Amino acid sequence: MTTLDGPAGTRHLVDPDVAPVLDVFPPLCLGPETLSKVREAQAVPLPDAPDPQALYPEVTTTERWIPGFQHDPDVRVLHYEPQRRTAPTAALVWIHGGGYVLGTADIDEILCRRIATETGATVVSVDYRLAPETKEPGLVHDCYAALRWVHDTAGDLGVDRDRIAVGGASAGGGLAATLAILARDRGEVPVSFQLLIYPMLDDRTGSTVPAHPYAGEFIWTPADNRFGWASLLGREPGGDDVSPYAAAARVESVTGLPPTFISVGALDLFAEEDIAYATRLIRAGIPTELHVYPGAYHAYDMVPDARVTQAHFRDCIGALDRHFNG
């Protein structure tokens, strides 16, 4: 738990629309002994979960296995294709969250279907290998394999090679940011846009750099963050030799990165690192849209009817739609 200013913690700062879920959402308390149990618990379907097909019926989903990066294993992706579209479409390579140690591509099916429906874009969601079983740069290499596959097979997919964006939430946002850096440095596949939703960018947060006193009490804590980064890096986070292909905040220069959307809650552990990254992009002359939502903790958008969640989706999907179709 982060060090908080005062005995009341930060609960009084939480937006009332998203506060009740904190009473039923158990702390993750990630560690070597608990990781498998947390994974098993998250794999159990929620009894009242909505049907993605019923919510967004005009999207076709196809599971594919694509070649891995260099000699890496093949990568599973979920390909979401809007049925009503004008080819060639834009494309979004989407990367799920989970602190680098949790989750699958399947958890974001509703979101991917929504993006495909509301923007008309093809969405390819990456089921990358997880840490600690796979260390960096294996995770971003899986994502790069998906990006390169979309680019190389754009004709067959009905995709416009000049409108391929990358995006993700939490650790997925961190991977999307490192993917954009890797693509820039390799010079093989152009990335037109990056959509970073409360991205996990800096291994120093909560390790060698303390979190600010009003961040990280809920959902994703400094202790979880240290475990996630240590699992990815294979060593304690915060050292001097961390690659920008693991932690995007470590990149020496952001020059040449694509236009960017970043959003984060003000109570999120990642608030300061996300604002700092947006500032760097803006100072480098990169078109950047930044939203900081007051009263929002990490993954606040799990509460679909909250007004802050509605604002979030209006902003992020609107930004994608303007980029793809503006």
Whether the pLDDT of residue 3 is over 70: the answer is no
Identify each DSSP E strand in the chain by its residue range.
59-66, 75-82, 89-95, 122-127, 159-169, 193-197, 260-265, 288-293
Rg of the chain over Cα atoms, rounded to whole angstroms, equals 18
**pLDDT given for residue 182 in this prediction:** 98
Q: How confident is the model at residue 8 (pLDDT cuts 50, 70, 90)?
A: low
User: In this predicted model, what pLDDT tens digit does every residue of 50-72 receive, in sequence order?
Assistant: 899 999 999 999 999 999 999 99
CA atoms of 171 and 208, how far apart (whole Å)? 19
Annotated catalytic residue within 268, 274, 291, 323: 268
298 in active site:
yes
Q: Please state the rounded mean pLDDT for residues 23-47.
A: 93
Pairing relationship of beta strands 193-197 and 260-265 according to DSSP bridges = parallel
Residue 37 neighbours by CB under 8 Å, 6+ apart: none
3-state helix, strand, coil in the chain (%, to 5): 35, 20, 45
**Cα dihedral angle (35, 38, 43, 49), rounded to 10 degrees?**
-150
Q: Please state the rounded mean pLDDT for residues 295-305.
A: 97
In this structure, how many other beta carbons lie within 10 angstroms of the beta carbon of residue 177? 31
Pairing relationship of beta strands 59-66 and 159-169 according to DSSP bridges = unpaired
Residue 67 neighbours by CB under 8 Å, 6+ apart: 74, 75, 145, 149
User: In this predicted model, what pLDDT tens digit does every residue of 121-158 receive, in sequence order?
Assistant: 999 999 999 999 999 999 999 999 999 999 999 999 99
pLDDT, greater one: 26 or 196: 196
- Mean pLDDT, all residues of the chain: 95
Q: Please state the rounded mean pLDDT for residues 96-120.
A: 97
207 in active site:
no
Annotated catalytic residue within 79, 125, 141, 170: 170
Residue 129 neighbours by CB under 8 Å, 6+ apart: 73, 138, 139, 142
CA atoms of 171 and 106, how far apart (whole Å)? 15
**pLDDT given for residue 84 in this prediction:** 78
Domain 11-43+57-325, CATH homologous superfamily name and number: Alpha/Beta hydrolase fold, catalytic domain (3.40.50.1820)
Whether the pLDDT of residue 186 is over 70: the answer is yes
Whether the pLDDT of residue 45 is over 90: the answer is no
pLDDT, greater one: 5 or 295: 295
User: In this predicted model, what pLDDT tens digit does every residue of 230-282 receive, in sequence order?
Assistant: 999 999 999 999 999 999 999 999 999 999 999 999 999 999 999 999 999 99
**pLDDT given for residue 268 in this prediction:** 98
The answer to pTM > 0.85 is: yes
Share of the chain above pLDDT 90, in %: 91
Annotated catalytic residue within 298, 301, 312, 323: 298
Break the chain into its structural domains and give their ranges: 11-43+57-325
202 in active site:
no
**pLDDT given for residue 26 in this prediction:** 84
Task: Extract the tokens encoding 70.
Answer: 């260099």
Whether the pLDDT of residue 93 is over 90: the answer is yes
- Phi first, then psi, for residue 188 (nearest 5°) are -100, -40
Angle in degrees, CA 226, 143, 95, rounded to 5: 65
Share of the chain above pLDDT 70, in %: 98
Whether the pLDDT of residue 322 is over 50: the answer is yes
**pLDDT given for residue 1 in this prediction:** 41
CA atoms of 285 and 187, how far apart (whole Å)? 20
**pLDDT given for residue 4 in this prediction:** 46
Q: How confident is the model at residue 47 (pLDDT cuts 50, 70, 90)?
A: confident
Q: How confident is the model at residue 6 (pLDDT cuts 50, 70, 90)?
A: very low
CA atoms of 226 and 278, how far apart (whole Å)? 23
3-state class (DSSP) for residue 288: strand
